[in-house]
Amino acid sequence: MPTGGLQRAIGPKIRRIPVHKPLFINFCEEILKRNNMKATSLPPTQRQTAIDQDFDVLIVGGGVAGLYLLYRLRGLGLSAVAFEAGSSVGGTWYWNRYPGCRCDVESLEYSYSFANDLQQEWNWPERYGTQPEILKYINHVTERFNLRRDIRFNTRITSALFCRRKVLWTLCTDRGEIFRAPYCVMATGNLSTPQTPEFSGLDRFKGDWFHTGLWPHDEVKFSGKRVGIIGTGSSGIQSIPHIAQQASHLYVFQRTANFSLPARNGPLDPEIEQRHKSEYSARRKAAFDTPFGIAGYPPPEKSALDVSDKERLQTYEQKWAEGGQISFLYSFNDLLTNKASNDTAAEFVRQKIRKTVKDPIVAELLAPKSHPIGTKRLILDTNYYETYNRNNVTLVDVSNHAIEEITPNGIRTEDGHFTVDSIVFATGFDAMTGAILDIDIGVEDGPSVRDVWKHGPTSYLGLTIAGFPNLFTITGPGSPGVKSQMILSIEQHVDFIANCLQHMKSRDLIQIEATFDAEDLWVKHVRQVADATLYPLANSWYMGVNVPGKPKVFMPYVGGVDRYKKKCDAVVDGGYMGFSMSA
Ligand code: NAP
């Protein structure tokens, strides 16, 4: 039987119906109909909320972004409510509770910067934060700033419709409630729609199965069990060493080998912590002048091809020993733009894998050859490759011999049958667009976001979508969010939105909308920048290729946080260039 929150992964998909509503007045009735409800069938409290609850801003999501937005809006005297599908705050860090889950950005960077007392007082025990530690921090922030009272938990937004005549968004929840406000912000996260491949036979599997992105809250015990894990992305590579320690046998089903570097995690040195904290304000500011939003890594000046073999090797060895993605990708200045340079780094890591893994056949299968290093998320691990030297771990190559079906007691590939008691799906997410498209978002008498994004997401700055007034997306497609220190990008977007609303309020403006021209130019720029790099060479979730039927479009902005922030600042300084605002 499926366990815990898994129902959500396999539960019925929200229907994707384009919105073409002739009259706003019919909207609530229509939405209730779509959700198979009648206003009179709702409990009295819900019926009341359906007509009485008005706010300035409706926020979808109670993760790191939704929380900071609530904080900022409160400071501006605007009323807001956030809707959160989970039973508590945290978003990514609430859902991803799999064994070994940990952030791949260092603790001293991966935190809010908006409150100095907070960043000075909070103590991170390790170089990289574990999921429980990060969730504890997010809960602390929630209590410290008394944010919980404005969040509706266990509430999923199913649809959102904008009425131009009334300048009003109307959002419906899966509980039959209706909320209205002039502004709506999608703080829905980039990796919040888990993907479980539709393997035939899963419904007949007799054991437990889990998705890393929807892990049960109760402890999952693998002791004495035969476990199969499908997927070797960040989630798989983090959890495999932990599951291997418990399971009687672990079968790892790998379709594509990935590059992973040792994290070199450990307790945080109190001296380093103190020094970092004393420099916090300068470091946070300097982070905006860097491509990944993290200060402290001097930009490399040389190409990997302009140094001797000896110097190149020494550089890679030093970075390998240091640990960390940026450090490694900053070995030379062209690792993400020049394939020949990239090959030298990729081969260095492949050699490390060959030296670590004792069985040469397994080592060769684990050595990635399908994509340049860094063009998929460069993974950080602790003892990942070493895990394949254990007697109770088997690597099953499913690159040429795909998984055919799940049987009642195992997994069948074209190569044979593997008997397992539990299956872990580390199969990733419908990234960047999944959570937005799960909501039926539209404008009265206009198309829906689902229509507009049919051939791939379009957006101005990853913050707004032309044709959808008063709607904002935090770290949406077309922004550098997922290619940066995420919390820094979230803060920058929230500040942009909050400052924009303040600007409008002070001038009695009530409607803002990106122009189609500005959006077209931005979309072209995002693609041009990506095309000048090696990123499009990988079949990654950045390209949308991990979801069957999803348009193949490179979604993040890889021009760097520094360039992006300057562009946003110029937009604001120019009087919100590329937007039309009206009273
Ligand atoms: P992912 O990177 O998309 O990896 C999914 C894995 O599942 C891939 O190995 C994929 O193989 C495999 N897979 C999917 N469908 C399959 C099928 N039908 N048969 C066999 N294999 C299949 O997902 P993820 O590991 O959850 O990571 C997603 C992102 O979340 C990361 O890139 C990272 O940005 C973030 N993340 C961060 C951390 C961290 O901070 N440490 C931890 C976890 C996740 P293919 O490659 O062949 O498609």
| Cβ 103 under 6 angstroms from ligand 1 | yes
> Is residue 551 over pLDDT 50?
yes
> Is residue 35 over pLDDT 60?
no
**Tens digit of each residue's pLDDT (9 = 90 or more) over 108-123:** 999 999 999 999 999 9
| Cβ 191 under 6 angstroms from ligand 1 | yes
Question: Alpha helix locations (H) across 215-366?
Answer: 234-246, 270-278, 280-287, 309-322, 325-329, 339-356, 360-366
Atom of ligand 1 nearest to the CA of 398: 20
What distance in angstroms lies between residue 121's CA and the mean position of ligand 1's atoms? 34
Distance between CA 571 and CA 332 in Å, rounded?
32
> Is residue 47 over pLDDT 60?
no
Distance between CA 227 and CA 207 in Å, rounded?
10
Residue of the CA atom closest to atom 2 of ligand 1: 233
> Is residue 257 over pLDDT 80?
yes
Q: What is the pLDDT of residue 293?
A: 97
| Cβ 427 under 6 angstroms from ligand 1 | yes
Under the banding of pLDDT at 50, 70 and 90, the label for residue 68 is very high
With 0-12 / 13-18 / 19 or more C-beta atoms within 10 angstroms meaning exposed / middle / buried, residue 45 is exposed
pTM of the model: 0.92
> Is residue 125 over pLDDT 60?
yes
* 230 phi/psi in degrees, rounded to 5: -110, 120
> Is residue 424 over pLDDT 90?
yes
| Cβ 547 under 6 angstroms from ligand 1 | no
Residue 424, helix vs strand vs coil: strand
Q: What is the pLDDT of residue 465?
A: 98
Mean pLDDT of all residues in 129-137: 98
What distance in angstroms lies between residue 483's CA and the mean position of ligand 1's atoms? 16
Identity of the residue numbered 294: I
Paired tokens of 272: 């380093």
Between 499 and 35, where is the model more confident?
A: 499
Residue 374, helix vs strand vs coil: coil
What distance in angstroms lies between residue 579's CA and the mean position of ligand 1's atoms? 36
**Tens digit of each residue's pLDDT (9 = 90 or more) over 170-228:** 999 999 999 999 999 999 999 999 999 999 999 999 999 999 999 999 999 999 999 99
Percent of the chain with pLDDT over 90: 91
Q: What is the pLDDT of residue 53?
A: 56
Q: Which of 494, 453, 460, 492 is nearest to 478 (CA)?
A: 460
> Is residue 20 over pLDDT 60?
no
Q: What is the pLDDT of residue 210?
A: 98
Distance between CA 522 and CA 508 in Å, rounded?
28
Atom of ligand 1 nearest to the CA of 379: 41
Q: Where are the domains of the chain?
A: 50-194+431-582, 202-270+288-425
| Cβ 426 under 6 angstroms from ligand 1 | yes
Torsion angle (degrees, nearest 10) of CA 34, 35, 37, 38: -40
| Cβ 230 under 6 angstroms from ligand 1 | yes
> Is residue 39 over pLDDT 80?
no
Q: How far is CA 580 from the centre of its chain?
A: 30
What distance in angstroms lies between residue 341's CA and the mean position of ligand 1's atoms? 26
CATH topology match: 50-194+431-582 vs 202-270+288-425: yes
Mean pLDDT of all residues in 391-417: 96
**Tens digit of each residue's pLDDT (9 = 90 or more) over 275-309:** 999 999 999 999 999 999 999 999 999 999 999 99
Mean pLDDT of all residues in 435-460: 97
Q: What is the pLDDT of residue 6?
A: 33
Domain 202-270+288-425 has CATH 3.50.50.60: yes
> Is residue 432 over pLDDT 80?
yes
CATH class in words for 50-194+431-582: alpha beta
Under the banding of pLDDT at 50, 70 and 90, the label for residue 54 is confident
> Is residue 43 over pLDDT 60?
no
Distance between CA 177 and CA 28 in Å, rounded?
10
- CA distances, 440 to each of 114, 289, 434, 475 (Å): 33, 37, 12, 19
Under the banding of pLDDT at 50, 70 and 90, the label for residue 259 is very high
- CA distances, 301 to each of 168, 240, 298, 306, 335 (Å): 51, 37, 9, 10, 12
Q: What is the pLDDT of residue 148?
A: 98
Q: Pocket of ligand 1, candidates 546, 547, 552, 555: which has the most ligand atoms within 8 Å of its Cβ, to mutate?
A: 546
Mean per-residue pLDDT of the chain: 92
If phi > 0 it is left, if psi is from -120 to 50 it is alpha, else beta; for residue 368 that is beta
